[in-house]
Amino acid sequence: MKDPVLLAEIHRGKHIESLHYGHALLYGASGLLQSWGDENFRCFTRSLIKIIQAKVCLDLIDQDLSIEELAIIGSSHRAQDIHLHAIEKLIKRFDLNPDLLQCGFHPHKQDSQLKHYCSAKHLIMLATCKQYNWDQENYLDIKHPLQVKITEELRRLNPEFQNIHEKDGCSLPSFYMSIQDMAKIFFNILGQSRYQKLIQAANSFPELIAAAGNFDTELMKAYPQRFYAKGGAEGLLLMIHLERQEVLIVKVLDGSDRPKNLIKDRFLDELKWRGEYHLS
């Protein structure tokens, strides 16, 4: 295993307060373009794969959702009013019973499972199960027909996919793989119409993907339709330059979210991804 590299340092005044190490890689049409640390470092996919889980559900449901609904089902939302409004639209569209949710409660928002970061993803899964008369009580199980479809999609995107998984924070399967295998998966979503709709929706409503201040929301707000970005728990970052068709995956080893905006800015500069745009 290659040693991790310094990804970001946080200062207080003129003094270094924290150092954040990890691994990163850039992937494109010709394969691995550049790496920082170990491109074969393995970790869990966490929320990076929400766009894939959403796409599988949309393929099965096969009906047109609003742009807001498309954005929220791929989100790690923060239960703000704009998030909860989009979620309510989803519930009404499919006449869903929120009591069937199994995402659990966010530690700081114990009054409703709808306020969990992952609730919209769970709702679109329940909508899919309802349409196909699949069991809505065990939709989390890796052997459930919906989860089988999701693992098939991951294998379609990367034939080397191995179904090694554990429970995510919301109890759905989270898959364990190298960051290079993750990059291959996300490179292969490019140019596919259903994924393109989800990417366009995220860019149209970046505040629904997370919230102001989060690196993914801020990146897509600053560079409309130029990037797709998604954060994951335990220090995961996904940034896709849509015009160059290049995928950047970053894993912060200490699992911290704190350096994500610094890391975003570092790679925008290092990869010369800013172009004629400027972050505010």
Q: Which residues of 126-149 are buried (b: 16+ CB within 10 A; e: fewer)?
A: bbbbbeeebebeebbeeebebbeb
- Rounded to an integer, the average pLDDT of 183-187 is 98
Question: Is the whole model's pTM more than 0.85, yes or no?
Answer: yes
pLDDT of residue 93: 97
Q: 221 pLDDT band (50/70/90 cuts)?
A: very high
In this predicted structure, the answer to whether residue 163 has a pLDDT above a threshold of 90 is: yes
Q: 94 pLDDT band (50/70/90 cuts)?
A: very high
- Name the nearest CA neighbour of 4 among 31, 34, 39: 39
- Rounded to an integer, the average pLDDT of 152-167 is 97
User: 236: which 2 tokens?
Assistant: 């995961």
pLDDT of residue 1: 85
Strand 173-178: give its sheet, edge to edge.
Answer: 42-44, 173-178, 165-167
Distance (Å) of CA 18 to CA 5, 9, 231, 258, 266 = 14, 6, 21, 10, 16
The percent of residues above 70 in pLDDT, for the chain, comes to 98
**Better pLDDT: 63 or 262:** 262
Instruction: Reduce the DSSP state of residue 25 to 3 states and report it.
Output: strand
Helix, strand and coil percent figures for the chain, each rounded to 5? 40, 20, 40
pLDDT of residue 278: 47
